[in-house]
Amino acid sequence: MKVLHLESGMHLYGGALQVAFLLRGLQRPGDEHVLACPQGSAIAEAARPHAARVHELPMGGDADVGLVGRLRRLIRAERPDLVHLHSRRGSDVWGGVAARLEGVPVVLSRRVDNPEPRAWARWKYRLYDRVIAISHGIREVLLACGVPADKVVCVHSSVDTERYRPGCHDRAWFQREFAIPDGAPVLAMVAQFIPRKGHRTLLDAMPAILAAHPRTRVLLFGQGPEQQAVRELIAARGLGDSVSLAGFRKDLDKVLPCIDVVVHPALMEGLGVALLQSAACGVPMVAARAGGIPEIVVDGRTGILVPPGDAEALAQGVNALLGSEALRRTYGQAGRALALEEFSIDAMVRGNRAVYEQVLATRRR
């Protein structure tokens, strides 16, 4: 089996990280996996040890119609049995068109939960032999948009449970690195700085959190276009002593086990890789009941769910966990167990391979 994978992300997180996991796990004698990705992208280097070949191509997003021609030439050169499209930014549609024009079956991974107009969805999803939703929440969104149920299968995203595991092994370093006073409870939010991630909801909840736990410190990890606006809002509300922008980190496996509670008040979310990482590290979570989040933040088992955009409920959930070490421990242990059981890399690889085999078997009939 030969598969051409297409990933258009530039940075090695989210969907691109899942592609790296998949390429690593799919290696099997007789199989061949080839990656097409943007020039200069982080996934190119990460994939080289695991892919037969890596092709770096110009990818200009939704308006880059020329991507169809570039992909058609690549498909003719590589002659794959199947094309797997892993991301949007134009590669979903133009990749689907290119594969169809070359007569090659095509699979799309869908990682976001925002709905699409039904008329557009009816046309777009005809391009694909199968759609892999990374959460049941995304699958339900696709069905509501009119995509046939037999075309959509759920295969959860994964987390490296060997790298992300419980145990803060260097608390002194952690406190120095992030200027955390002795004994201060620490919250973390790991997300792109974009409106739908809900940073403002967390800031709205901070007065109630600080009233109950005045020594609380909050670390906001990530980068994105809203970063400066959030920084200004922190200053305007006088939260600078409690809330810090901690930037994009490559050592979250070292940081997360030292966190008391991870907060994720996203308004929309496909699943949330940061939540998978937090659960694998045994960290309890408070999150919004949106998209695929309830599949990893199981209310009353691995964390607490609140309505999206509800700052009061968010504060109540955070305060409940900060007020009970026993509850934090119970939820953290359950999160680790769930990550091992349902979100392992092996399970994700098996699920994707099964889809490939089903699509190819159907084509042979």
DSSP 16-58: HHHHHHHHHHT--TT-EEEEEEETT-HHHHHHTTTSSEEEEE-
Region of 103 (left: φ > 0; alpha: ψ -120 to 50; beta: rest) is: left
Residue 347 identity: A
Domain boundaries, the chain: 2-158+344-364, 171-342
pLDDT at position 365:
67
Domain covering 2-158+344-364: architecture: 3-Layer(aba) Sandwich (3.40)
Rounded to an integer, what distance in angstroms lies between the CA atom of residue 194 and that of residue 197? 6
Whole-number Å distance between alpha carbons of 77 and 102 = 11
Q: What is the pLDDT along the chain (365 residues), one digit of tens a residue?
A: 999 999 998 888 788 999 999 999 998 898 999 999 999 999 999 999 999 999 999 998 888 999 999 999 999 999 999 999 998 877 899 999 999 999 999 999 999 888 999 999 989 999 999 999 999 999 999 999 999 999 999 999 999 999 999 999 999 999 999 999 999 999 999 999 999 999 999 999 999 999 999 999 999 999 999 999 999 999 999 999 999 999 999 999 999 999 999 999 999 998 988 999 999 999 999 999 999 999 999 999 999 999 999 999 999 999 999 999 999 999 999 999 999 999 999 999 999 999 999 999 988 76
Q: Report the first-to-last Cα separation within the chain, whole angstroms.
A: 17
pLDDT, tens digit, 9 for 90 and up, residues 34-53: 999 999 999 999 999 999 99
Alpha-carbon distance of 337 to 223, in angstroms, equals: 30
Specify the fold of 171-342.
Answer: Rossmann fold (3.40.50)
Residue position matching structure tokens 């060997």: 162
| Residues 63, 110, 47, 253, CA torsion sign | positive
Strand intervals (E) in the chain: 2-6, 32-38, 53-57, 82-85, 106-110, 130-133, 152-154, 186-190, 217-221, 243-247, 261-264, 285-288, 303-306
Q: Decide: residue 35, CB within 10 A, 0-12 exposed, 13-18 middle, 19+ buried.
A: buried
- Residue 90 has what pLDDT? 79
- Taking residue 159's Cβ as centre, other Cβ atoms within 10 Å add up to 27
Q: Between vectors from CA 345 to CA 275 and to CA 50, what angle results, nearest 5°?
A: 120
Residues in a beta bridge with 57: 38
CATH fold match for the domains 2-158+344-364 and 171-342: yes
Model confidence, pTM: 0.87
Which residues, other chains included, contact 33 with Cβ-Cβ below 8 Å and sequence gap of 6+? Answer: 2, 3, 5, 23, 26, 27, 50, 51, 52
83 and 106 in contact (C-beta within 8 Å)? yes
Written as six digits, the tokens of 35 are 């990656």
